[in-house]
Structure formats: structure tokens, C-alpha cells
Chain A
Amino acid sequence: MATGIKDKVVILGMGCSKFGERWDCNAQDLMVEAFEEALADAGIERKQIEAAWLGTAIEEQHLGKSAVPLAMTLRLPYIPVTRVENYCATGTEALRGAVYAVASGAADIALALGVEKLKDTGYGGLPQRGRGALNDLFWPNISAPGSFAQLAAAYRAKHGADQKDLKRAMAHISVKSHDNGARNPKAHLRNRITEDDVMRAPMIAEPLGLYDCCGVSDGSACAIVTTPDIARGLGKKDLVAVKALQVAVSNGQEVQYDQWDGSYFATTRVAAARAYQEAGITRPREQVSLVDVHDCFSVTELVTMEDLQLSPEGTAIRDVLDGFYDAEGKVPCQIDGGLKCFGHPIGASGLRMVYEMYLQLQGRAGARQLKAPTWGVTHNLGGFPSQNVAAISVIGAYGA
């Protein structure tokens, strides 16, 4: 295996806009909000940025195509700027571009910015769009909640899980994320809810009710990365490093080949194993301090706990109900509120997860600060259970 990127790149600065229904903002305003914070945090000038990546998924809804909107908005000085899109894993892809640029030596300082302006559609939920000329002729008539709801049926069938237990665990997941989000001033949803609220909510796609679904938000997040040496040269201490960045993309085996049972993410399992190897994590359940996963729906978070090797297969319901992933639990999950409550501006979400790891590792997470975290894992997923993109990062103290 390649040597990987462990400790080759550190985070120089990060920023994240307030997520939510930003009726006051264009996508460009959100980008500036995140960039200003990141630039100030990095303590550099924009002309020091040598390369940039823009992550945005549903560009027809706001910015339009290409990387030009990033260069125009931030007034980047004729540097290479690249736009990436990989479903909802877009934000992590933008970061990967910047990190690889620095790791390769092609750039000393690189920027990744993710943004999405989703609340200009006129309706709730993700914008509807075509899925490709041929796909439109045979793909089922699916929504995001509908496609992820499939997990529940398959997980229940595989593990013989009781429908009520599963629904209760899903409810616990959402209640926990609302508790966490309430302590995050940048979160979209800051209200606390009860399990009863979840159970009684209107059905969106069986068995997912309204509170099993994450917020659809406007927002932007930004990272500026560099080498450890340059960071130290700029006077930075307590460096936060990228320990691993791994992506796995479906090749049709789940949706076309008769092996996958529909109850888990094949991509997440592969990407997680590679990321742990790259970072040097051998016992994730014991070693990982906190995780921020792609909880687009409560059931996604549930099965992901197993895919990330945090809960042994078939035990996630028990771990969730035991509070293992609560703020006070062994491995806090979605301490910033997650997609569920921080919100889900698609292109920004992967970077937002890393933003929380960065804050937590530096002890700057305010009311939700955890005690001495060492390893943070982010899991950013795009697509549908049967064909998707899984992007995983491991973030930790440099040299640790």
C-alpha cells in the first residue's frame, strides 16, 4: 500500500457559516462567511493560497457550473481552482483535493470550500432533478428518504430486529442529535425533542418520519491546509493533522450483483478499513474519541455505527439505546448536531464534519467540548444505499 497521507498535511485554519434557512444570503455570501473565518483563523492573506477546490453538488440551484464562482467570489489571484462533485460526499472530495495538493508538494497552502444554497427551491427536502438520460428511463421514482428507508427493511430482515426496537433506536438517535445541536450556535435546528415527538411525527418514507430526516440547509464550510513545517513556521502550535482520507465508490455490486443484502454500506466498510489502516487505528471502538457521520436519516447513522466497526454487527440498536453514542457516551456521535441538526448544505457537509473535529481537538468547541479527544472520524456519504460514495477522514493531533 502507498504510504498514505498521515501527518503530511495539517489544518491551518477553518471556517463555517451559520447553517440554516439563510433567506438573507446568496451562495456567494455563505462562501464569504466561511472563508473570512478560515482566513482569520489561518492568519494568512488570500494571496498565499496556491490552489483551491470548490465542492458543490446541485450547482444548477445556485452557483452554476465550474470553479469560476469560487475564484470570482473570493477574488482568488489566477490560481488553479477546481470544482468537484460526488453526491453528498462532495465536501470531503474538495478537502481531498486540497490535502493531496499539499501532500504532493504541488502547493504549500491550499483551500477547500464547500457550499450549498438549497432553500431557493420553494419546497422542503432536496431539490428534484434528473439523474441522467438513461437512468431516468428505468430508475424508480425515489426520494432520498425513500432510498435510505430501504435500509430499515433489510436490516430488520437480516438481524431479526423488532420493528419497535429499531424505531426506538432511530428515535434515540434523533433525540440525541437535537440535544447536541441545541448547544451549537451555528446549527440549523437548535430545539430539543422527545422520543415521543419522533414516534408521532408525520411519515415521510416508511419507517422514516419527519424527525428521522436531517435538515436541508444553506451553508458553507472552508478549510485551509498546509504542511506541518509551514504551519509551525507561521507560529501555529497544537497542530491538527489529517491522518487519513479515504473514498470508496460503488461499482454496481450492491445494485446488480446478488451478494449485498441491503442492510449496510459496502462502500463505508471498505473506506473505513482503509482509513483506519492509513491512520494506524486497529481497535476503532476503543480508540476513536468521537465521530461525525452522515446521518442524513436516523437509520443511516444506525447502520453506519456497524460499518465503521464501532458497534459489532447486529448490535447497533443496543449500543444506541445504551447511550454509547450520546454526548456523555464512550464514542460521542454528532456532537455538533450532525446533518440532523447542524444541517445539510450538501457540498459543505463533509467540511463541516472536519470543522467540528478541528474545534474539538483544539478544545475550542464551546458548550459541547469533549474531554481530551484524540482521534476524530468523519463519515461523509453520497448517493443511495445501493449505489453511493463513502468518504472517510481521520483527524488527530499532529504526531500523535
Chain B
Amino acid sequence: MSTDDFGILSFGAYVPRSRLQRSVVAAANAWFAPSLKGLAKGERAICNWDEDTITMGVEAARDCLGDRDRAGLSRLVLASSSLPFDDRLNAGVVANALMLPSALRGLDFTGSQRAGSSALMEALEGGGAMGPTLVVAADARKAKAASTQELHYGDGAAALLVGRGQPLAALVAAHSETVDFVHQYRMHDRAHDYAWEERWVRDEGYLKIVPRAIDAVLKKAGVEAGAVTHFCLPGTLSRIQAAVAKRCHLSDASVRDALAAVCGDTGVAHPLLMLAAALEDAKPGDLILLAAFGEGCDALLLRVTDAIATARPHFGVKGALARRREDGNYMRYLSFNGLLDMERGMRAEPDKPTPLTVLYRNRDMIQGLVGGKCRACGTVQYPRQRYCVNPECNALDSQDDYPFAERSGKVMSYTADSLTYTPDPPTYFGMVAFDGGGRMLMDFTEIDAGRMDVGLPVRMVFRIKDQDPLRGFQRYFWKATPA
């Protein structure tokens, strides 16, 4: 199995910037569900209207990959219980956004809250033979208004690169239990989870199935429970982490915060998000125990190496959590999540078809944000056209691919447009001048009123561009956001 040079090479995280204040949700629903008051603490991360599992996954992957060469990746796994497409490889969209080579095994892992932990386990147990694997887990589960899920859930993503090199953590042992214990479920034509009584989930689920997996993995590793330094267990039941730790003889100090107060439970992404958070705090030699519950339990024991000292993502969990905007607008949240039938006006009516032929021919330009650089004159340009844009050049077919996605830029002109339709008015858009050349007239996202100005530094983010309710499709593109 694992050898000295194989393991987790890097990690990254993404948490949407908007943090819905739970007190607002509880107050709005107090007339109907006064018991929610007990959960009205802290905040949960929520997707913007133009974010979903795919876009969050792309951002976590970019955070994880940093400047690393992407061409050598062999596998990309996207794990989620809220994939936008039932039939279309969601990992394929992520791969295109990351401009990964076509010689890639792209996989969607889904169907369970353990999809993320199982995907990581598969990558780590596969050994180095299959080449580097990027494991991405993202979830944006919907919840009914006034449900406890609405308060418990959060949206987010994490990514881990597994392969040969200088691992910052290596797998010591892994164990899975598969038990058809249905604490909650969602059939494919339903938008929301149906959950059973929490006391039963706690007593028969978490406190019996999880300890079985933990005991097994520790036994396989020959490690005493007391030696574990970081214990990661997602779960929204009250004090469940401490209860399981006690049952398994793990130290109180090892129990990691499940990020309930600052983020919420990000579903399939949460085991990996908690692991990423643990890695941010870990020291060489630390033992991380990761357990994930759902129709059984995955348990992974990882040993942190010396390489951890220098391995830090650009944002990571801490960075992602720090980029936050308090959101007290429950109505907007309901609207974004299809829980409010709003009058959107006639400007929302135009058809937005995506010709799949056009998208395919131009997939690198659109989903990869690849422009051109002229070999004859050096001019960088987007989109890449047959003739170079430089009027002194105009060379034909002279351009090499020039990816813009990781380029920084500055705002050249902008407006806040209140006329054009957007689910979240006003629409901010303008011209971005890229550092190193090139410019684009493009949409902005995550703009706070009054923050926009000429010269504002921006970075590119992958987002939903348009939704096509008529054909049940949505298309993606890149937007500029404050750096």
C-alpha cells in the first residue's frame, strides 16, 4: 500500500463568500417552527446564485493545485450528493475548467454522504500505480424552508491531490463499513432530504457503526486510540463528535470542530474539508483520524509528514472562511434556492439556448478561458481569432493557447446595471485589463456596493453564466471578482 513517497501532495478548500445568519432564518420561521430558535447560532455558507457543486469544485481544485503542473494528472474524481447533471460527466466540466488533458480518467462519485471519503480512500489505497489523482468533493444540498437542514447544512468544497512525490500526509490504514442504516435519503426526483429521528440516528448509527469502523482502522494500523492527534467526524447532532470520541477512547483534545458555527455541514465535502482544516493545523508526525458516516462508515488514519511545514494552499479552509460576507437576506436565499416563486419581469423571459456544437468547438475558450498569444508579435488576446488583433500584425493562425484563468487583472471600466435581468441585481460588469496583457469585457461577481472602482485588482472565478429552464441546462463561464 502506501510507501514513503506516496500520499496527499496538496490540499485546497472553497467556501462560498455569503454566510447566511441562522438567527435570521429562525426569526423568519419562528411563527411556524419556534423550535428552530435552538439552532439560531452562527452562520452557514451559501452558494451565490451563480455557484454550484461544479463551480465550487473548480475553485477548491485551483486552490489545491496552485502552480503545479496539471498535465500529469491521471484521474479526477468529483464527489458530491448534489451534482448538477444526472447524465453528463460533472467531473468533465471541472476538468475542462482546469484545462486538464483529455487523457484523464474522470469520475463522478455520488449516492452517499460518504462519496468524498470513499473517493479519497480509493485514491490513497490505489497506490502510486495509477498516477496522480485529484479528489474533489463539493456539495450544495438544498433544504426546505423552516427545516433543520436549512440551518445545519452549508455549501463548500475541498480538494486533495494524491500521488507520488513529497506527501504531506500518508495513509496508515483505512476501513469501511457498509450498513443500510438510513438516517436520511433523497430519491433522484426529489430536491430535499427526508430525515429520521435524531435520537435513533445517534444511538444506533453514530454510536454503534462509527466506533466499529474506528476500532477496525486503529487495529489495522496497530495504533492506540490515544495516539490520534486530530479526530475529524462530520455530523450535526449535538455534541456527537465528543460522544463518539469518548466511546472510542480518543482524547478530548483530538476532537476537531465540525465548523458548524462558521460554515455548516457541507455534506459530501465535509470530511475532506475537515481533513483540510486539520492539515492546516497539523505538525509533522501527527495522526489524523477521519471518519465519515452514511449508510455505514469510512475511517481513514493518516500520518502527517515533515512536508506539511511548507505545504500551504493559497486560501485553504482558513482563507476561505475568512473571505466572508454576512448575509441577513433570507428572502434572497429562498429565491436563489427555488423556494420562492418571484415575479422576475419580462426581461427574465428571453430564451437562453446553448448550442452544444458551439460549446464543444469552443470549450477551451469558454470553459477553460483560453485565449491566444501571437507568435509573430507577442500580442495576448481574447478571444483567440484566426487573425491577430494587432493592426500592425494581423497574422493568420499565428496564436498559441494563452490561458487567462490564473491571470490577475485590474478593472478598466465598470457599471452596476439595474436594467438587465439577473437573479441578484444589479449586474456588475466591465472591462478587465489583465496583468501581462489582454483584456475582456466580462461579468463581475461578489461585488459589494460601493467597492467597485477603476484599478481594482481582480481574479478570475468559474461560475454559472446562464440558466436555461426550458431545456434544463446551465452554462458556465468565468467572471472577475475582487482579488
Q: Which A residues fall within an 8 A CB radius of B?
A: 121-123, 125, 128-130, 133-134, 136-147, 149-154, 156-157, 202-206, 208, 251-253, 255-258, 261-262, 384, 386
Contact = CB atoms under 8 A, between A and B. Distances in A.
A258 B352 CA distance: 31
A125 B347 CA distance: 10
B465 interface: yes
B454 A154 contact: yes
A115 B448 CA distance: 42
Contacts of A129: 350
30 contacts: A122-B346, A123-B346, A128-B347, A128-B350, A136-B352, A136-B466, A137-B362, A137-B465, A137-B475, A138-B365, A140-B441, A141-B421, A141-B429, A142-B429, A142-B441, A143-B419, A149-B415, A150-B415, A150-B430, A156-B454, A157-B454, A203-B416, A205-B415, A205-B416, A206-B417, A255-B439, A257-B381, A257-B439, A258-B437, A262-B412
B350 A262 contact: no
**7 nearest A-B pairs in the assembled complex, by CB-CB distance:** A146-B417, A149-B415, A150-B413, A140-B429, A143-B420, A157-B454, A143-B419
A146 B438 contact: no
A213 to B, nearest CB: 9
Given A123-B345, A142-B429, A143-B419, A255 B441 contact: yes
Interface in B223-271: none
Given A137-B358, A143-B419, A256 B454 contact: no
B477 interface: yes
Nearest to B347: A128
Contacts of A140: 427, 429, 441-443
Contact of A125 (B381, B413, B419, B422): B419
A150 to B, nearest CB: 4
Contact of B429 (A122, A133, A146): A146
A141 B419 contact: no
A153 B454 contact: yes
Given A146-B429, A258-B437, A153 B365 contact: no
B347 A141 contact: no
A145 B419 contact: yes
B29 interface: no
A153 B413 contact: yes
Nearest to A158: B454
Nearest to A387: B441
Contacts of B362: 134, 137
Given A129-B350, A140-B442, A257-B439, 18 more contacts: A122-B346, A123-B345, A137-B358, A138-B365, A138-B477, A141-B429, A142-B429, A143-B417, A145-B419, A150-B415, A153-B413, A153-B453, A154-B431, A157-B455, A203-B416, A205-B415, A255-B441, A257-B379
B389 A154 contact: no
Contacts of A151: 413
Nearest to A157: B454
Interface in B24-55: none
B415 A258 contact: no
Contacts of A137: 354, 358-359, 362, 366, 465, 475, 477
A106 to B, nearest CB: 33
B390 interface: yes
B403 interface: no
B415 A153 contact: yes
Interface string B439-483: 111110000000001110000000001100000000101000000
Nearest to A203: B418
A128 B385 CA distance: 27
Contacts of B442: 138, 140
Contact of A149 (B385, B417, B441, B475): B417
A130 B358 CA distance: 14
Contact of B412 (A202, A205, A206, A261): A261
Interface in B344-377: 345-347, 349-352, 354-355, 358-359, 362, 365-366
B222 interface: no
A122 B348 CA distance: 13
A149 B413 CA distance: 9
A262 B362 CA distance: 27
Interface in B136-177: none
B420 A142 contact: yes
A154 B412 contact: yes
Contacts of A255: 431, 439-441
Contacts of A202: 418
B433 interface: yes
A11 B351 CA distance: 43
A130 B350 contact: yes
Contacts of B455: 157
A253 B392 CA distance: 11
A297 B90 CA distance: 43
Given A141-B429, A146-B420, A133 B439 contact: no
A146 B438 CA distance: 22
A286 B28 CA distance: 67
A340 to B, nearest CB: 17
Of B366, B441, B443, the most chain A CB neighbours within 10 A belong to: B441
B430 A141 contact: no
Nearest to A386: B441
A205 B418 contact: yes
A153 B441 CA distance: 14
B383 interface: yes
Contact of A134 (B358, B389, B418, B430): B358
Nearest to B358: A133
B481 to A, nearest CB: 14
Contacts of A384: 441
Nearest to B412: A262
B330 interface: no
Contacts of B431: 150, 154, 255, 262, 386
Contacts of B419: 125, 143-146, 204-205
Contacts of A142: 417, 420, 427, 429, 441
B366 A138 contact: yes
Contact of B391 (A152, A204, A253): A253
Interface string B391-420: 100000000000000000000111111111
B382 interface: yes
A384 B415 CA distance: 13
A152 B439 CA distance: 18
A123 B347 contact: yes
Interface in B182-218: none
A261 B441 CA distance: 13
Nearest to B354: A137
